[in-house]
Amino acid sequence: MFTINENYLKLQGSYLFSTVAKKVAAYKSMHPDKTVISLGIGDVTLPLAPAIIEALQKAVAEMGIKEGFHGYAPERGYDFLLNAIAKEDFAARGCEISPDEIFVSDGAKCDVGNIQEIFGTDNLVAVCDPVYPVYVDTNVMAGRTGVYDKALGTYEGLVYMPCTQENGFAPKLPDKTPDLIYLCFPNNPTGAAITKEALQKWVDYANEIHAVLLFDAAYEAYITEENIPHSIYECEGAKTCAIEMRSFSKNAGFTGLRLGYTVVPKELVSNGVSLNDLWLRRHGTKYNGAPYIVQRAGEAVYSEAGKAQIKEQIAYYMENARQIREGLIAAGYQAFGGVNSPYVWLKTPDNLTSWEFFDKLLNEAQVVGTPGSGFGASGEGYFRLTGFGTHENTKEAIKRIQALKTK
């Protein structure tokens, strides 16, 4: 008789954003006359930049003729994209990353979830709290976390690094010595960022204890301050301890196209075994490559026209984030983030729980956000809003939230 992977039974309810979507759908069905504005899930709203559309159309035309047709993509990705990434994302910032250390995929979410497969199940995992749920859930599925403690809102086998208002939403080095450490900066969900000096401390720590930093840099394009690093490889020694994941979803609006990549340096070795080789083996076994037309679209992101157009889109979303942050503060809320990130993290008013505030916001203001407790125990009492809406909806949503505060 077959058996199941019982680790899946340790997962807590449905995926956070699925729960939010179900609640919103139920409200809309009961109140069809109400206009609901979503500042919840981090999905972009602007159309793809013209340079990207042009590249897509050209690639589609190529696929329609014998001379231009492309089948399965190379394991790591096409050279034209790998070379553009190495030059524009890393060499331009003084980081020495070669094309054969880059692995193109269909998005950072898959990579941050799958990267744990090349590590042993006996590794001790450390995560920030609050945290992007994928880091935790995929390790639950793999059997690294032990059982869930409902009273504490934590898994017994994970090391949690609280990110609170008191520490500026930046974690301290953990008390226990972990093997794998997940970091995300600029951070999802808090919107916090850390300086190069602060990130260097994590690199030094990881090298000292022989741990691996799994660095999610999906939001690096939203950095506005000069002292904030865009890549962990800007830090000395990072190539011997860090794997970095990047996404085209947030910087270039590829949420509907799907494209991302992971960097695994060749210097990253465990007992003589190259992690680059392991990831290549995993990548080639389980993945057939992002489509040619999508990789050509990715290449266009790095063209002069593409860079200029995407810069305008990012500025659009960051203006929304600024309006959210400043509007909340003006209304008496405590709000954080929104400076180097499109996310604004606010303290729920009147001692409401995160889900109580979610319900209040939906039922009384018809605005959707994401409850902080869905990102972990330290997220309780907080709430995430995103700058990925339209200017018009963002302004209206803030007006509604401000009115709610005065009731």
Q: Within 123-195, where are the H helices? A: 133-142
Q: Give mean pLDDT, residues 130-158.
A: 95
Residue 407: the pLDDT is: 58
pLDDT at 14 over 80: no
pLDDT in tens, 356-404: 999 999 999 999 999 999 899 999 999 999 999 999 999 999 999 999 8
Q: Phi and psi at residue 127, in whole multiples of 5°? A: -130, 150
Instruction: Indicate the angle between helix axes 292-301 and 304-330, nearest 10 degrees.
Output: 70
pLDDT at 265 over 90: yes
Residue with tokens 């209206």: 396
Q: For 157-259, list the strands marked E by DSSP.
A: 158-162, 180-184, 212-216, 242-247
Task: Round to whole Å and give the CA distance between 286 and 170.
Answer: 35
Residue 348: the pLDDT is: 96
Residue 21: the pLDDT is: 86
Contact 209, 180 (CB under 8 A): no
* Mean pLDDT of all residues belonging to the chain: 95
Grouping H, G, I as helix, E, B as strand and the rest as coil, residue 341 is: coil
pLDDT in tens, 90-137: 999 999 999 999 999 999 999 999 999 999 999 999 999 999 999 999
pLDDT in tens, 24-45: 999 999 999 999 999 988 889 9
Q: Which domains does the chain have, with CATH numbers?
A: 13-42+306-406 (3.90.1150.10), 52-302 (3.40.640.10)
Residue type, 7: N
